[in-house]
Chain A
């Protein structure tokens, strides 16, 4: 039994926005894998819910004419992993969300919920950051587009207003075409795990497949929010695929991250992972992009 005060099932996005406007304390629920836990723990006990579960327009992955991949926020993790468009164009994201929780969670947890939670450990976040994902938010006065990197406002906080609903996660063609990517989730277990650190690398190689044309490096749990290492990315662009590249990437990342010590893991341990995972994610991403780092 859950302690829920009111429950509104929204028929569509407008309906959800109206319900949220009407109840300033209502919480959006989709899959429920975070919200129901918080209700059970007492943190959200007695809350009112606005459900966007089952709204057709928010579910599924499609491609627009210009090649932009549009992910509906109510798409559950397992559907993203098994989606043809995702598998073909942005496999890094399908792999990343396939590492969340266990099979049951992946059949109910949605990517929109993962993003809107705003937590630094979200399994989709690092990969979406390297894909320069843009979020479409719909509110009472219309919609707006927010780059994911600007979406986070602090630990567990985002710029989404109470009465805004995330309706699309957009990834344009220039952000995936020609890239090879890899995400590593570091957890203490192989499943049912929250990331101790997450690291995503997307790399586009030069024509000869022996230099870096473009590279994106993002982390989860390396700072209060998921982050990109923009300065490091700039320094490695154009570099040949040598061990020096891995050193530059790992050492640069160390200067940009701000992990904290908690009982879950110390700052020192997380820094060790920041460095090591950058190297390993890079090696695999380069391989996925059709290259190889030569010793």
Chain B
């Protein structure tokens, strides 16, 4: 059995011995260094440059400015391209922008012989601007008379959407006598992915073809967008993706590859490397959208949710990127996780501002939505004096839930089992009682949160994935995936799946970790929680087809019907008796070199994913609050996930650890801050409080394994979900410990002290 094994990562040895090569390791000797010149205003227009001093710096090869780039606007988000114009991503930026929309916008670029010369020249460039009033918050951007950040959106609203479930109106439904009505705001903050490897690429020309080697999650999309941005045929662009050091969605965005491609064309095709600093990564790439939620909810005293109204405003920042898809996703989860007896009204806005652009980040709007949803649940439970776990069990989505709009059905339902496992692990009833009536400066509490997550994007869009398998002369196989290994362990689980579907053992399966758009079959890349589900389907079909072809050749060699043959442990066996008949090695050698019938046995399949399903899970946290110091210490925390069959339990556990760590930072300390002019204040890892190992408690993980009928191997989403429920679980534990409801993230000390003072605890 290959699927379900705790197989060691196929790249573990290379990664710990420095054998694995990353983008920067591969840049050839003599590669030129590019440095982006960034605006020092957040909103305005570049009037002119003075390059005189910069050009004098020894080692400077070329300086290009926003006046020198093609007059082409292009989209940057890593969505599959849509052939329908109405569904295409917003194209709202050029390679370098004259119209400045964020502090640190890309307005020029220096190419030099080394980093020092490039940085020096970039510092010496003088820029004259026409400045407009910077807009930082959604409120400012939507205020009367606010400057339009994009002229085609004069009110700064990139998009607005609404829906209703049930009939009537919230306001009417809430009038029912005896209801308790909650009407409040929940706010989530701007955070960044903080992947270890910063965005980096190098580009060079081979004859008239542009080659870009990049640390990206989405090589095929990078090829398309680079072609679009430069106005060159997409086939003239070749993108190579080596090992990458994490992305979390920030590299599901075409950030600097097009500019890098353009720069090499400006220096005669010489290789040019563009590597961002950590500061640039924090300030000028993508962030998780800050979303403000206005939640109104009416509940009966017996705990039945009657009606809700959801209004959300998503701070998009300067450029559209993934845009409205994020807050639309947030609204959907609010709808899916609980059902109202009468009506749910939902309205969502995505609003341009002058801060860093919101893009894809692990969970894609759901961590924000889950904070609002799960805070709401505990606040409602508190209003009617019901245990929050009981309240959830009463109102949460049930087995077989079907989304009224997308018609995605919850097939393999493990949500309640997750709650039960979490409850037992944290000793819920006992602790809820024990911490009921505390006094003193240090108090404890337990809290929980649940979530659901749809695995793929169907039917909103159709995802394709491809796989190619090639039989080698010795009976081993090559597996080529369009989907990418980005640190999550994709290559390992693909190897396990290939073993499962072909009968060839993992040690004879060579997965190609480097994607090269000239060679690799098409796949939109590693993002969402799609790899094992969407790309896994392509792999399973390919493996099945390869096996069929091998058996068909075996049938010719053995003069037996292929129907009675199978492959097991690298041997062709008689299906019924499992009697070995022929080794794969013998078969392959014959297939390659037969004097009678020589064939190269390969298989390639593109899969269209026309299915979807829900994952779910729960987080339970026990915390200790030091009231006078405003500090929360997590004493115990567990995530329980309903993610279908686990392909590799060890990797699954690691995935959950990483997500919980991200959730803890989101809950307690991380936040990108801006001053009034839109300048980021803490765009470095000293002041941006990513938790350290010292801040991280032991992370406990459990699973409810129910095979999903739509998953290729019973599996469903796990990549993003671990990051989702941690923040609201901790917030709810804080509520339990202190009785103080803090409705914004992060739960950082100064904010807590302010709340505790207001509540009379200090």
Using a CB–CB distance below 8 Å, which chain A residues touch chain B?
Answer: 1-3, 42, 45-46, 102, 186, 188-194, 196, 263-266, 268-269, 272-273, 276
**Nearest A residue to B665, CB-CB:** A189
Say whether, besides A3-B120, A45-B120, A269-B749, A191 and B692 are in contact (CB < 8 Å): yes
Residues in A neighbouring B123, C-beta threshold 8 A: 42, 45
Residues in B neighbouring A188, C-beta threshold 8 A: 669, 689, 748-749
Residues in B neighbouring A191, C-beta threshold 8 A: 692-695
User: A251 → chain B, closest Cβ, in Å?
Assistant: 15
**Nearest A residue to B689, CB-CB:** A188
Q: Is B628's CB under 8 angstroms from A272's CB?
A: yes
Give 7 pairs: A residue, B residue, CB < 8 Å, sorted on A: A1-B116, A42-B123, A45-B120, A189-B669, A192-B686, A196-B749, A269-B749
Residues in A neighbouring B692, C-beta threshold 8 A: 102, 189-192
Residues in A neighbouring B114, C-beta threshold 8 A: 1
Q: Is B116's CB under 8 angstroms from A3's CB?
A: yes
Residues in A neighbouring B762, C-beta threshold 8 A: 272
Instruction: Point out the residue from B120, B630, B681, B695 that lies within 8 Å of A189, measured CB to CB.
Output: B695
Top 5 nearest A-B pairs (CB, nearest first) are A190-B694, A191-B694, A269-B750, A276-B628, A191-B692
Complexed CA–CA distance, A65 and B681 (Å)? 50
Residues in B neighbouring A102, C-beta threshold 8 A: 692
**Nearest B residue to A102, CB-CB:** B692
B280 on interface, CB distance cutoff 8 Å: no
Using a CB–CB distance below 8 Å, which chain B residues touch chain A?
Answer: 114-116, 119-120, 123, 628-630, 669, 673, 675, 681-682, 685-687, 689, 691-695, 748-750, 753-754, 757, 762
Residues in A neighbouring B685, C-beta threshold 8 A: 192
Q: Is B695's CB under 8 angstroms from A276's CB?
A: no
Complexed CA–CA distance, A263 and B693 (Å)? 25
Residues in B neighbouring A194, C-beta threshold 8 A: 686-687
Complexed CA–CA distance, A192 and B630 (Å)? 19
**Nearest B residue to A196, CB-CB:** B749
Say whether, besides A3-B119, A45-B120, A269-B749, A189 and B689 are in contact (CB < 8 Å): yes
Residues in B neighbouring A272, C-beta threshold 8 A: 628, 630, 753, 757, 762
User: B754 → chain A, closest Cβ, in Å?
Assistant: 8
Complexed CA–CA distance, A188 and B753 (Å)? 13
User: A101 → chain B, closest Cβ, in Å?
Assistant: 9
Q: Is B695's CB under 8 angstroms from A190's CB?
A: yes
User: B691 → chain A, closest Cβ, in Å?
Assistant: 7
**Nearest B residue to A262, CB-CB:** B681
Q: Is A269's CB under 8 angstroms from B753's CB?
A: yes
Residues in A neighbouring B754, C-beta threshold 8 A: 268-269
Say whether, besides A272-B762, A273-B629, A189 and B694 are in contact (CB < 8 Å): yes
User: A91 → chain B, closest Cβ, in Å?
Assistant: 21
Beyond A42-B119, A269-B754: 19 further Cβ-contacts under 8 Å? A1-B116, A45-B120, A186-B629, A188-B689, A188-B749, A189-B692, A190-B694, A191-B692, A191-B695, A192-B692, A194-B686, A263-B673, A263-B681, A263-B682, A264-B687, A269-B630, A272-B628, A272-B630, A273-B629
Residues in A neighbouring B691, C-beta threshold 8 A: 189
User: B590 → chain A, closest Cβ, in Å?
Assistant: 57
Residues in B neighbouring A265, C-beta threshold 8 A: 750
Residues in B neighbouring A46, C-beta threshold 8 A: 120
Q: Is A263's CB under 8 angstroms from B750's CB?
A: no
Question: How many A-B contacts at CB < 8 Å in the complex?
Answer: 60
Decide if the interface of chain A is mainly helix, strand, loop or mixed: loop
User: A43 → chain B, closest Cβ, in Å?
Assistant: 11
Residues in B neighbouring A2, C-beta threshold 8 A: 116
User: A219 → chain B, closest Cβ, in Å?
Assistant: 15
User: A243 → chain B, closest Cβ, in Å?
Assistant: 14
Q: Is B675's CB under 8 angstroms from A263's CB?
A: yes
Interface centre among A3, A102, A194 (most CB of B within 10 A): A3
Residues in A neighbouring B682, C-beta threshold 8 A: 263
Residues in B neighbouring A193, C-beta threshold 8 A: 686
**Nearest B residue to A263, CB-CB:** B681
Complexed CA–CA distance, A33 and B119 (Å)? 21
User: A143 → chain B, closest Cβ, in Å?
Assistant: 35
Complexed CA–CA distance, A273 and B630 (Å)? 10
Complexed CA–CA distance, A193 and B754 (Å)? 22
**Nearest A residue to B633, CB-CB:** A190
User: A49 → chain B, closest Cβ, in Å?
Assistant: 15
Complexed CA–CA distance, A264 and B691 (Å)? 16
User: A100 → chain B, closest Cβ, in Å?
Assistant: 12
**Nearest B residue to A276, CB-CB:** B628
Residues in A neighbouring B689, C-beta threshold 8 A: 188-189
Residues in B neighbouring A190, C-beta threshold 8 A: 692, 694-695
Complexed CA–CA distance, A194 and B114 (Å)? 32
Complexed CA–CA distance, A1 and B117 (Å)? 10
Residues in A neighbouring B686, C-beta threshold 8 A: 192-194
Complexed CA–CA distance, A102 and B630 (Å)? 23
Complexed CA–CA distance, A189 and B119 (Å)? 32
Residues in A neighbouring B630, C-beta threshold 8 A: 269, 272
**Nearest B residue to A2, CB-CB:** B116
Complexed CA–CA distance, A194 and B682 (Å)? 13
User: B322 → chain A, closest Cβ, in Å?
Assistant: 28
**Nearest B residue to A265, CB-CB:** B750
User: A224 → chain B, closest Cβ, in Å?
Assistant: 19
**Nearest A residue to B756, CB-CB:** A272
Interface centre among B628, B629, B669, B750 (most CB of A within 10 A): B750
User: A186 → chain B, closest Cβ, in Å?
Assistant: 7
Complexed CA–CA distance, A96 and B114 (Å)? 40
Complexed CA–CA distance, A42 and B115 (Å)? 12
**Nearest A residue to B684, CB-CB:** A41
User: A279 → chain B, closest Cβ, in Å?
Assistant: 9
Complexed CA–CA distance, A192 and B691 (Å)? 9
Residues in B neighbouring A273, C-beta threshold 8 A: 629
Q: Is B750's CB under 8 angstroms from A266's CB?
A: yes
Say whether, besides A42-B119, A188-B689, A192-B692, A276 and B669 are in contact (CB < 8 Å): no
Residues in B neighbouring A269, C-beta threshold 8 A: 630, 749-750, 753-754
Complexed CA–CA distance, A178 and B693 (Å)? 37
User: B277 → chain A, closest Cβ, in Å?
Assistant: 8
Complexed CA–CA distance, A274 and B694 (Å)? 24
User: A96 → chain B, closest Cβ, in Å?
Assistant: 17
User: A247 → chain B, closest Cβ, in Å?
Assistant: 14
**Nearest A residue to B627, CB-CB:** A276
Complexed CA–CA distance, A191 and B685 (Å)? 12
User: B522 → chain A, closest Cβ, in Å?
Assistant: 39
Residues in A neighbouring B116, C-beta threshold 8 A: 1-3
User: B738 → chain A, closest Cβ, in Å?
Assistant: 16
User: B283 → chain A, closest Cβ, in Å?
Assistant: 13
**Nearest B residue to A101, CB-CB:** B686
Complexed CA–CA distance, A94 and B123 (Å)? 41
Complexed CA–CA distance, A94 and B377 (Å)? 48
**Nearest A residue to B751, CB-CB:** A269
Complexed CA–CA distance, A46 and B692 (Å)? 33
User: B428 → chain A, closest Cβ, in Å?
Assistant: 28
Q: Is B749's CB under 8 angstroms from A1's CB?
A: no
Residues in B neighbouring A45, C-beta threshold 8 A: 119-120, 123
User: A72 → chain B, closest Cβ, in Å?
Assistant: 27
Residues in B neighbouring A196, C-beta threshold 8 A: 749
User: B185 → chain A, closest Cβ, in Å?
Assistant: 22
Complexed CA–CA distance, A264 and B750 (Å)? 9
Residues in A neighbouring B628, C-beta threshold 8 A: 272, 276
**Nearest A residue to B626, CB-CB:** A276
**Nearest A residue to B691, CB-CB:** A189
Residues in A neighbouring B115, C-beta threshold 8 A: 1
Complexed CA–CA distance, A185 and B400 (Å)? 53
Residues in A neighbouring B120, C-beta threshold 8 A: 3, 45-46
**Nearest A residue to B749, CB-CB:** A188
**Nearest A residue to B752, CB-CB:** A269
Complexed CA–CA distance, A263 and B669 (Å)? 14
Complexed CA–CA distance, A268 and B682 (Å)? 21
Interface centre among B748, B753, B754 (most CB of A within 10 A): B753
User: A78 → chain B, closest Cβ, in Å?
Assistant: 16
Complexed CA–CA distance, A268 and B694 (Å)? 27
Residues in B neighbouring A42, C-beta threshold 8 A: 119, 123
